[in-house]
Structure 1
């Protein structure tokens, strides 16, 4: 099981650099950040742009993988995103994973003056977004005409360091997005059913098990080995607190390993955050 840490892009840069270097030295496999323009309870606090922030981390680390958790079509266009991701893949010497999701209903959804889309509309837009990104990141020249995007002979030279393209990690919970992950994802990201009334450990595990079964079925339908898709569980805001102790974390990791997960990502504890209130020192003891 690979372990990763999600860092919020909110702290002063020297503090961020020191934390990232320390987590890399401890042996964590990957570091992630949210790709938002502003976010929830940090709406009126410092909040940096994800891709420049990750580019900076690429320059001060050497081994740990870096990723977005997750970028979305809400305020991104696939052409500019592909070009920036390709460039970051070079800056990081092939250490970037591009996490992608449908986007939500928060601040980012309306900041460009658009109306909030329905879940069905967001899933349809995500499907085309991923298909275009996949083509852009694989080909030196790419064109596309669809419902949401038009691309005229976009150049993507020299291409990604990682071949045939950098990895895409797709956040998916429903049948349509899980089918998209089966077709295009190198990794699948989930954190259960965040809108469900029951956020107990048993309910979350049941939801994740159902999602995993759908992913397996969609892979089988297109002749893909389900094991070729890495499975990333993001520890969310549920009733379970796996960072409460080393024993709790080991139990949590064991249960999700049995569900087929290859990676666990948790939020770095923050003394000033009302949710992730665990002792930051616990992070020193979770890696083996």
Structure 2
């Protein structure tokens, strides 16, 4: 099981660099950040832009993989995103993974003056977003016209360092998004059932088990080996606290490893945050459990 850490892009830059380097020195496999313009309880707090943030972290580190958890169509166009991704892949020397998701109904959904899309519209938009991002990153020249996006001879030169393109980690919980993960994903990302009222560890695990079975079915339908997808579980705002102790984390990792997951991503605890309340020292304590 590979273990990664998610840092919020909310700290002074010197502090961010020191933390990123420390996480790399501890031997973690990957380091992620959110891709939002503002987020939840940090709406009126410092919050930095994702691509420049990752560019700076790429320059400050050498080995650890980097990524977004996750980028959405709420304020991104896949052609301009693709150019940023290609460039960042060169800056970091091929250490980049782009997590992508459908986007929610939060601040990012309306910040550009748009009416927040319905769930059906978000799903349809996400399908085009992933298809175009995949196409533009694979192609020297790419043309597409759909209901939400268009590209006219979009150039992607010199192309990504990683071939055939930067890996995509597709966040998916329902049948349509899991179909996208099966078709385009190098990895599948889940946090469980995001809108469920039952946020217990048992309920999340049951939801993830159902999602994994459906992903296997979607892979079989297109002739893909389900084992060819990495599977990433992101710990988050649930009743279970896997970072409460080393023993709790070992138990969490063991259970999800048995479910076929290859990677776990934990949030870096933040003093003063009402949700990410675990002791920051736990990140040092569980580092030895990382198995790359």
**Normalised by the size of structure 1, how large is the TM-score?**
0.99
CA distance in 1, matches of 2:240, 2:266: 12
- Residue equivalent to 1:181: 181
- Residue equivalent to 2:281: 281
- Tell me how far 1:221 sits from its aligned partner: 0.6
- Tell me how far 1:97 sits from its aligned partner: 0.2
| 1:80-95 equivalence runs, <5 A | 80-95=80-95
**Normalised by the size of structure 2, how large is the TM-score?**
0.98
- Residue equivalent to 2:123: 123
- Residue equivalent to 1:114: 114
CA distance in 1, matches of 2:173, 2:158: 34
- Tell me how far 1:118 sits from its aligned partner: 1.4
Gaps of 5+ in 1: none
- Tell me how far 1:149 sits from its aligned partner: 0.9
| SS class of match (2:5) | strand
- 1:57-116: CA deviations, max 9, x gaps? 000000000000000110000110000000000000000000000000000000111111
| 1:158-173 equivalence runs, <5 A | 158-173=158-173
CA distance in 2, matches of 1:110, 1:206: 33
Runs of 4+ aligned residues of structure 1 deviating over 4 Å after TM superposition are: none
- Larger RCO: 1 or 2 (CA < 8 Å, sep 6+): 2
| SS class of match (1:98) | strand
Gaps of 5+ in 2: none
CA distance in 2, matches of 1:196, 1:72: 21
CA distance in 2, matches of 1:145, 1:283: 45
Task: Confirm whether residue 105 of structure 1 aligns to residue 105 of structure 2.
Answer: yes
Deviates more, 1:114-123 or 1:35-44: 114-123
- 1:1-49: CA deviations, max 9, x gaps? 0000000000000000000000000000000000000000000000000
- Tell me how far 1:120 sits from its aligned partner: 1.3
| 1:1-288 equivalence runs, <5 A | 1-288=1-288
- Tell me how far 1:236 sits from its aligned partner: 1.4
- Tell me how far 1:249 sits from its aligned partner: 0.2
| Length, aligned pairs only | 288
For the aligned residues, what is the CA RMSD? 0.5
| SS class of match (1:3) | strand
- Tell me how far 1:50 sits from its aligned partner: 0.5
CA distance in 2, matches of 1:194, 1:10: 23
| SS class of match (1:88) | helix
- Tell me how far 1:285 sits from its aligned partner: 1.1
